[in-house]
Chains A and B, each alone.
Chain A
């Protein structure tokens, strides 16, 4: 095996990288454009114990503490869009409790477990 073949193989390796990343990008767009179905739990991360009361309570707390940065409809403003968050309920709970350094305050002192669960339920109720 000579070194000129190694250079040629490098070209093929780059082609493979471009094809792989391109395929991943296309797949990303395709998955993103897939329609949601309420009867399918494919995209459903919602809590099974979420009730209307809990969601309403979450909405009130959201309007008090979160809407300033995330927008009235939670579609994003200074902070990101919170519709269809691609992370677990537990992860959202931790984010609310701990905050994000330099970006979002901690709400662990302000809200108790039930209120945070209500906030998560409200976020999960967003279309």
Chain B
């Protein structure tokens, strides 16, 4: 019988969640820098591309984070107290990040200003949700 270290999933979860967090924050940063950079510059194009690939990788990074988290909580999607608060932020952030990654992956660089504005608004909201999820996740770890 193969025995698995009970702390394995929590260690994996702790390690894997930081990839989507960092990549989404990086994508938001690149979008911000792109907004500030001069028009028609090659830097603008590079920042757009960097923002696109980081959000796609961030969305892909949610897969190991969510899988390890579900194995850690034994498939309990909500829980109680800080775990419940963590999940209330996690699930909308997960859905938002998958949606953003898919949309940006298909569209590339948004052509319309409306599309870009909506995308940036949702990206900002998702980053906020991830911050909330990270805060309550940290409370689970550091307050224990």
What is the minimal beta-carbon distance from B125 to any residue of chain A, in angstroms?
A: 14
Counting chain B CB atoms within 10 Å of each CB, which of A29, A41, A95 scores highest? A41
* Among candidates B2, B62, B112, residue contacting A6 with C-beta atoms closer than 8 Å: B112
Q: Does chain A have a CB within 8 A of B95?
A: yes
Question: How far apart sit A28 and B102, CA to CA, in the bound complex (Å)?
Answer: 23
State how many angstroms separate the Cβ of A124 from the closest Cβ of chain B: 11
Quick one: which of A5, A17, A32, A86 contacts B99, CB cutoff 8 A? Answer: A17
- Measured between beta carbons, the chain A residues less than 8 angstroms from B112 are 2-3, 6
Counting CB contacts under 8 A, is B1 at the interface? yes
Nearest CB on B from A89, distance (A): 8
Shortest beta-carbon distance from A102 to chain B in Å = 11
A residues near B73, Cβ cutoff 8 Å: 86
A114 CB–B CB distance under 8 Å: no
The residues of B that contact A29 with a CB separation of less than 8 Å are 75
Total interface residues on A, using CB and 8 Å? 44
Give residues of chain A (1-22) contacting chain B, Cβ–Cβ below 8 Å.
1-3, 5-6, 9-10, 12-14, 16-17, 20-21
Cross-interface CB contact of B103 among A13, A24, A37, cutoff 8 Å: A13
Q: How far is the CB of B79 from chain A (nearest CB, A)?
A: 6
Using A13-B100, A28-B75 as known contacts, say yes or no to A1 and B5 having CB atoms under 8 A apart. no
| A27 in contact with B140 (CB, 8 Å) | no
Contact with A80, one of B70, B72, B80 (Cβ below 8 angstroms): B80
Residue A49, interface by CB 8 Å:
no
Contact A27 B75 (CB under 8 A): yes
Partner of B4, one of A24, A34, A40, A88: A40
Residues of A within 8 A of B96 (CB): 17
Contact A41 B74 (CB under 8 A): no
Q: Is B40 an interface residue (CB 8 A)?
A: no
Query: Which chain A residue lies CB-closest to B103?
Result: A13
Task: Pull 22 A–B residue pairs with CB atoms less than 8 Å apart, ordered by A.
Answer: A1-B107, A1-B111, A3-B115, A6-B103, A6-B111, A9-B107, A10-B103, A13-B100, A16-B99, A16-B102, A24-B66, A27-B75, A31-B74, A33-B75, A34-B74, A34-B75, A40-B3, A42-B6, A86-B83, A88-B10, A95-B81, A103-B81
